[in-house]
C-alpha cells in the first residue's frame, strides 16, 4: 500500500463517513482550517481510520494531529510495520524439486 492509496482511503472516509463535502484533497490540508473539523470530529476520524485500516493509533492527549500529511504518514508507517516482511521464513522456504514423469505414447520403447 502506497502513501497515495492511504490518502485516497482517508479522503473516502472523510467524504462518506464524516459527511465532509469540502474538497481539500491536498496532503497539506489541515483538519481544522481546511475541513472545519472540531477536535471531537478529528477523534471520530481517527476511530474510522483505525477501523478501516485495522490498526491501533497512538491517541495520547499530548500528541495533536493537525494535517492530512501527518495522518497519512502515521497510517502508512503502521501498515508497513504490520505487513509481512519479504524474505521472511515462509517466503524463503525452499521446496524440494519434484519431477513428474509422464508416460510416453510413442512406439519407440
C-alpha dist (Å) from residue 13 to 17, 20, 109: 5, 9, 69
Please check whether residue 109 lies inside any domain of the structure.
no
User: Could you tell me the residue range of the domain that residue 52 belongs to?
Assistant: 3-92
Q: Is the pLDDT of residue 45 over 90?
A: yes
Please check whether residue 100 lies inside any domain of the structure.
no
- CA distance linking residue 9 with residue 15, whole number of Å: 10
Instruction: Report pLDDT for 104.
Output: 59
Please check whether residue 14 lies inside any domain of the structure.
yes
Instruction: Report pLDDT for 103.
Output: 57
Please check whether residue 106 lies inside any domain of the structure.
no
Instruction: Report pLDDT for 26.
Output: 81
Residue 18 maps to which CATH number?
1.10.1200.10
Residue that has been written with the C-alpha cell 481546511 in this structure: 34
Q: Is the pLDDT of residue 85 over 60?
A: no
Domain count, the chain: 1
CA dihedral (49, 51, 56, 58) in degrees, to 10, reads 40
Instruction: Report pLDDT for 32.
Output: 86
Amino acid at each position: 500500500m502506497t502513501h497515495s492509496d492511504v490518502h485516497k482511503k482517508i479522503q473516502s472516509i472523510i467524504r462518506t463517513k464524516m459527511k465532509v463535502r469540502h474538497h481539500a484533497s491536498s496532503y497539506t490540508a489541515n483538519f481544522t482550517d481546511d475541513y472545519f473539523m472540531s477536535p471531537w470530529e478529528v477523534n471520530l476520524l481517527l476511530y474510522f481510520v483505525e477501523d478501516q485500516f485495522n490498526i491501533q493509533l497512538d491517541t495520547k492527549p499530548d500528541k495533536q494531529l493537525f494535517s492530512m500529511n501527518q495522518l497519512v504518514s502515521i497510517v502508512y508507517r503502521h501498515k508497513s510495520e504490520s505487513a509481512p516482511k519479504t524474505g521472511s521464513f515462509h517466503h524463503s522456504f525452499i521446496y524440494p524439486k519434484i519431477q513428474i514423469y509422464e508416460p510416453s505414447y510413442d512406439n519407440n520403447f
